[in-house]
Structure 1
Amino acid sequence: MSKAYSAAQWRVPVLLALIAAAFLIFSGVAIALYEENIYRAQQVKAFTEQASILAANETAAVIFDDRRSAQEYVDAMKVNPELQAVAVYNRAGRLMAQTSRVGPLPYTLDRVSQLSSLGLLSISVPILQEKVKIGTIYVWATEEPAQRRIARYLGIGLLMVMGALVLVVLGVSQRALSRANAELELRAENLTLLNAKLQQEMEERRKTEEALRQSQKMEAIGQLSGGIAHDFNNLLMIAMGNLQLLQKRLGEEAGPLTRYIESAEEGLRRAANLTQRLLAFARRQPLTPRPVDLSRLIEGMQELIRQSVGEHVDVALNLTSSWRTLCDVNQMENVILNLAINARDAMPDGGKLRIATRDLTDLTPPLESDRSARGDYIELLVRDTGSGMDEETRRQAIDPFFTTKPLGQGTGLGLSTAFGFVRQSGGYLGIESAPGEGTTITILLPRTAEDEGIVS
């Protein structure tokens, strides 16, 4: 009885131990399988995130078929040793960029299935632009090596070792995942910086191309209008000379014809004035440049400016420039007066007109200017509080014969003449305006090194 009790008493703990061992073994297997699935899911998630980030950064390169930029983004993925191959396919399914440790990749998207025999983890992510697919990213990566799985399963037989292995595997996995996430964040940050740099370069390229197109357009218009104006001016001089000769020949016998001759001469003079303004825009007019102090020049014109704009416009001068520029004084006076009159017309109900000058040291003019060299410039600023202009009107403001004034109240040559004169003087004229915010005209003229001939 005692022995039977002892045997039963012994078998119960053994059975419990076996049950516990079996449970632990079953739990170890379940945990091992669970960890394997988790590890694979983490791999899939990590590689999918990398592919998604790459797809987001490849959007611009695919749109513009920029294979060089596309390859730079792909090359950045080489730092991950688990990635065996990365490919970028465009909208047509053709290969744009690649990196591979398993040999050449398929040139077309429909042959990607040929790589299934390699036993690699394959992930594809679409390249989207406003929810429209414009390409595909493919990533091939190695799964967990078989040797690692075998080693883990062999340890299941030893309960304590199995527990230790589970803890070690968990710790290693967590550390590996943390390192992978840190590396992924670093790569994502680098890709974001590259994308921002690419966007900035694209914007600078767009501005440069727009400035070049504007410069070429104005140059073509200037050559055309200058040639026509030059020939037309010669014809006007012939007509004017013949009218004067006719008046001289008729003498006192002209009688009532004198009035018609004088009217014709007045019309010819006005036409000649228009041709001179066209020649100024085309930069073909003869100039008499000399050193000019713009501040003193404007100060001497302030009474004329106030009379021209009227009492309803408040004129404020802020003349701080003391440098001189080389330009034609008479033409410069015409430009300043014309800008003041334009400002007056933009403020029919009154407003404020500010005219300012200042010296700018070591300045690089905008791309639209003839001179892009860094140097010293005098800035002339004319700002009004008028109705302003929209972007389309602002772009056309310096085009010859473009005007927003009613028919008969403007020739459309004021700003174009000023633009031509400033360009001929080696400077820059820019316009800033918005509806309801007034208009600012900025003129930059290079500083002259001459010491004599200051114009007061």
Structure 2
Amino acid sequence: MIFGLCVALLLAYELWRSYSVAREDVERNVSNLVHVMSEQVARTIQSVDVNLQDISGELATSPAMPDNDPVFRTRLHKRLASMPFVRALFVIDRNGYISHDTDFPSTPRVSLADRDYFTIHKDAPSVGLHIGRPLKSRSRGVWFISMSRRIEAADGSFGGIVVAAVEPLYFESFYQKLWVGGGTISLFLSPGTLLARSPAREEMIGASFAHAEPFRSLLAAQNPGVAWLKSPIDGVLQVAGYQRLEIAPVVVLVALSETDVTRPWRSHATVLLVGAAILLTLLVGLEWLTRRGRRREEAARQRLETTQRLEAVGRFAGSIAHDCGNLMRIIRSATVVLRPLVTDRQEAVKLLDEVDTSLDAGRALVNRLLAYARNTEIHLEAADPGELVREILPIARQAAGPGIEVVATSAGEATACCLDRAQFQAVIVNLVLNARDAMPSGGTIMIDVRPAEGMDLSSGESWVDVSVTDDGIGMSEEVRRQAFDPFFTVKEAGEGHGMGLSQTQEFVRQCGGRADIFSGPGEGTTVRLRLPRDERSEGV
């Protein structure tokens, strides 16, 4: 038991330790991945910003450049080719119309003066690089992220803006090359607007997650950071690493599914649990075998002690029986000689009659002692205990006397057992007499025959239980333990000699069975005879 408890404690400790290590490894890996992704996004933004500043400076020094100048457009295309993450480069004049565009000549003549990226630069000259919310292009109908810078006129006035239309699909396709299992890699515009996501979900582009972590509180408290969160989209528990860029209001978020990241630990835990279960099963089996061996040794020791004790008692009983028999023969001879001499004296004749009665009782006791000492052989044959009980029932009822009802019951089909018919019926009558003596105020004696159930059936043999139950005064535990001992009795002097239950036990033992007593003070008594079934007979 103590060893099993130690195994369980060690198992629990190892599961806790390995789980803690697994969490630390996952958090470290997520943190490293977020850092790498943040560096990649930062370089992308820096590359776009450098080109926007160059274009803005070039236009500031060439205010007279005509719209859609082919030479300038060629330079825009060269810049566009160096930035695969940018779909288009275009310039919006101070009035809100596109003046230069890499999509020319399909550029629509529409006003963009209402776009956020235009009004911000127009109203706030100090704004540098501006990254706008995802928008759908009015000319192409596709999503893009605007990165823009203000064009300063020579006099410092607003001269328009230069815009790079970055495609979210670029980030999504790039992120797809990184295996994150059931997790996600996302790019957000602070304070929580989704710019790009892998795996891609177009309907979520531009959605706000400002109400969810890490934007709600964690990002302000720690940047970068790692936390175990539930996804605001599907409620799946994830380990999320996040980092806000220093050069732009952009947040990179990497979230890995708890199911995926703990799969190696669960495999490890399964191996540990199976191994521990096997070990504990072996321990339990070993303990069971050890205890069974001890029980068998104890039972064998008790049987040996009982056999030795009974053998000694038998020798003693035989010696006493022979001596008593010799004395009683002398006394009986004397009574035979005296009887003709006192025929005319009634009192003397009466005394001799009482002596003869006492000698008869003594002879019966001597015969029982001799039978016990000789361990009389029994004649085993196949017989149905239920049938034998029904045959002896009238005699048993007569022996029980008035005021006591004797009822015989049985369960199941007729079953043959190996036993001595005459001695079995004598045992039943003796048990009925014992039950009668335990019920001075009357009651009911039940004789029940049924297939055995419960304990002591692990050997695979079939047994039949014959039980004699009374509702009498019962017996204490001390009396119950000694009830099968020879010469032990709780009856008054002259009412019994204590050989009945001992002979009952010996008879059942010779039949290959066992006898048990179940009793308690005021609870009545049940004497159960468990007899082996005769498998060679289908019925009697």
Is this contact kept in 2: 1:385–1:437, CA < 8 A? Answer: yes
Is this contact kept in 1: 2:379–2:419, CA < 8 A? Answer: no
Sort the Cα spacing of 1:250 and 1:402 in 2 relative to 1 into closer, same or farther, 3 A. Answer: closer
Pair 1:401-2:494 in alignment = no
Pair 1:374-2:465 in alignment = no
- Equivalences for 1:9-48 in 2 at 5 Å? none
Structure 1 unmatched ranges of 5 or more: 1-53, 60-72, 84-122, 124-142
In the alignment, which residue of structure 2 is the partner of 1:310? 401
- Which amino acid is 2:505 matched to? F
Is this contact kept in 1: 2:468–2:527, CA < 8 A? Answer: yes
Pair 1:343-2:435 in alignment = yes
Select 1:177's aligned residue among 251, 265, 268: 265
Is this contact kept in 1: 2:321–2:369, CA < 8 A? Answer: no
Is this contact kept in 2: 1:247–1:254, CA < 8 A? Answer: no
Structure 1-normalised TM-score? 0.53
Is this contact kept in 2: 1:293–1:324, CA < 8 A? Answer: yes
In the alignment, which residue of structure 2 is the partner of 1:356? 448
- Partner secondary structure for residue 382 of structure 1: strand
Distance in 2 separating the partners of 1:240 and 1:179: 88
Measured after TM superposition, the shift of residue 412 of structure 1 is: 2.6
- Which amino acid is 2:487 matched to? F
Select 1:231's aligned residue among 319, 342, 345: 319
- Equivalences for 1:95-244 in 2 at 5 Å? 160=38, 174-244=262-332
- Partner secondary structure for residue 398 of structure 1: coil
Is this contact kept in 1: 2:519–2:525, CA < 8 A? Answer: yes
Measured after TM superposition, the shift of residue 282 of structure 1 is: 5.7
Is this contact kept in 2: 1:211–1:367, CA < 8 A? Answer: no
- Partner secondary structure for residue 285 of structure 1: coil
Sort the Cα spacing of 1:297 and 1:185 in 2 relative to 1 into closer, same or farther, 3 A. Answer: closer
Measured after TM superposition, the shift of residue 57 of structure 1 is: 0.7
Structure 2-normalised TM-score? 0.46
In the alignment, which residue of structure 2 is the partner of 1:327? 420
In the alignment, which residue of structure 1 is the partner of 2:73? none
Select 2:503's aligned residue among 397, 417, 426: 417
Distance in 2 separating the partners of 1:157 and 1:295: 88
Q: Which has the higher contact order (CA 8 A, sep 6+)?
A: 1
Indicate the structure with greater helix content: 1
1:268-295 Cα offsets, whole Å, 9 max, x none, are 4434433444455566135466665544
- Partner secondary structure for residue 342 of structure 1: helix
Size of the alignment, in residue pairs?
A: 320
Distance in 2 separating the partners of 1:338 and 1:323: 22
Pair 1:432-2:518 in alignment = yes
- Which amino acid is 1:353 matched to? I
- Partner secondary structure for residue 498 of structure 2: coil
Is this contact kept in 2: 1:403–1:411, CA < 8 A? Answer: yes
Pair 1:299-2:246 in alignment = no
- State which structure, 1 or 2, has the greater radius of gyration over its C-alpha atoms: 2
Distance in 1 separating the partners of 2:504 and 2:259: 76
Measured after TM superposition, the shift of residue 392 of structure 1 is: 4.2
- Which amino acid is 1:304 matched to? I
- Partner secondary structure for residue 439 of structure 2: coil
Is this contact kept in 1: 2:384–2:416, CA < 8 A? Answer: yes
Structure 2 unmatched ranges of 5 or more: 40-240, 243-251
1:369-406 Cα offsets, whole Å, 9 max, x none, are xxx7936x554322223344454443322122333445
